Chains A and B, each alone.
Chain A
Amino acid sequence: MTSPAHSLPVPIPRWAYAVALVALVVTWLVLQENGIALGHAAETVHEFFHDGRHALGVPCH
């Protein structure tokens, strides 16, 4: 007999979806931002994280 406790979901508060959105935006800024959100500053972000982008398998040039 296995414990049924593991099958119970943990209740998720509403602000969890704001956290998820922030996490997605942060991932976007580090891995994908090419000027849509940051304009000229994007180039700085892009170049700083450049090795990381390539190493994590993100399409680049």
Chain B
Amino acid sequence: MSTDEGLTYKGLTYKGLLARGVGAGAVSGLLAGLVGVLVVEAPIRAALAVEQARPAEPGGGHEHGELFSRGTQVVGGVLAAVVVGVAVGALFATAYARSRRWFTTEAPFVRAVALSAAAFGAAAVLPAVKYPANPPGVGAADTVEYRTVLYLGLIAAGLLVAVGASALASRLGRWSPPVRATAVALAAVAAVVVLLVVFPATPDTVPSDVPGGLLWEFRLASLAETATLWLGLGVVFGLLVDPATRRAEASAV
């Protein structure tokens, strides 16, 4: 019914990659959700306690936990990671299928992990450096849209740097591998530094009643969850893709 059979590449079609991406995303999302429950929930709980100790804001501040109990929100937190994992896994499969320049001489497992590491850097580490994650009770409601634009803009710019770095690497194809890797790394670092300088600072200040220790415990815990999501995706996707590619190659010989 479809022309996919005609497009078969060593037994791995786009459909096959997509199925593996969605499966890997579900697994890594679940793992990230478990990290959320085990590691991120404690500082979230502490931050909510700080927020609730405040006098009620005039004009009605954003009240948490009225629609859902804390327990339901914990389940929602795991579900959020799983749903985002599946969506990101589908995008990851497409990016993997399109990545003609990414470590082309390496095994599929290495390529998958390298791609997920790049995505983790652009979509999680970069925004975490400029606009670190904040627990409930820190962000001001009236700046949330501006902060969202800055955050999404920085992620988009970071992904462009990753794509640009791979384009540069293929342009310098004739250079010796160490010199080329050094040049690409320097260019990527320079681009990231420019982004960090050019993007405006976050408009919010952290309220004085939020302990610095709690803030950083939350930020590192949040980074652990996003690292689990992205790197887990690369590892699981790589484990699913690698044997299939090898089998296809073996049967083609």
Contacts and interface: CB of A to CB of B under 8 A. Distances in A.
Interface of A: 2-3, 5-13, 16, 19-20, 22-24, 26-27, 30-32, 34, 43-44, 47-61
Given A49-B80, A52-B36, A10 B9 contact: yes
12 contacts: A9-B97, A12-B97, A13-B4, A47-B73, A48-B79, A51-B76, A52-B81, A54-B135, A54-B218, A54-B222, A55-B44, A55-B80
Interface stretch (B86-94, B158-166, B175-183, B193-201): B86-94
A13 B207 CA distance: 50
Chain B interface main SS type: helix
B50 interface: no
B91 A57 contact: no
Contacts of B12: 10
Nearest to B104: A7
A52 B14 contact: no
B64 A50 contact: yes
Contacts of A20: 90-91, 94
Interface string B72-103: 11101111110110111011001001111000
Contacts of B99: 9
Contact of B14 (A7, A11, A57): A11
Interface of B: 2-4, 7, 9-10, 12-14, 17-18, 32-33, 36, 40-41, 44, 62, 64-68, 72-74, 76-81, 83-84, 86-88, 90-91, 94, 97-100, 104-108, 111, 124, 127-128, 131-136, 139-141, 144-145, 147-148, 150-152, 218, 221-223, 225-226, 229, 245, 249
A16 to B, nearest CB: 6
Contacts, number: 178
Contact of B144 (A7, A52, A57, A59): A59
Given A54-B222, A55-B40, A48 B14 contact: no
B226 A57 contact: yes
B105 A57 contact: no
A24 B91 CA distance: 8
B140 A26 contact: no
Nearest to B151: A59
Contacts of B151: 58-59
A5 B104 CA distance: 9
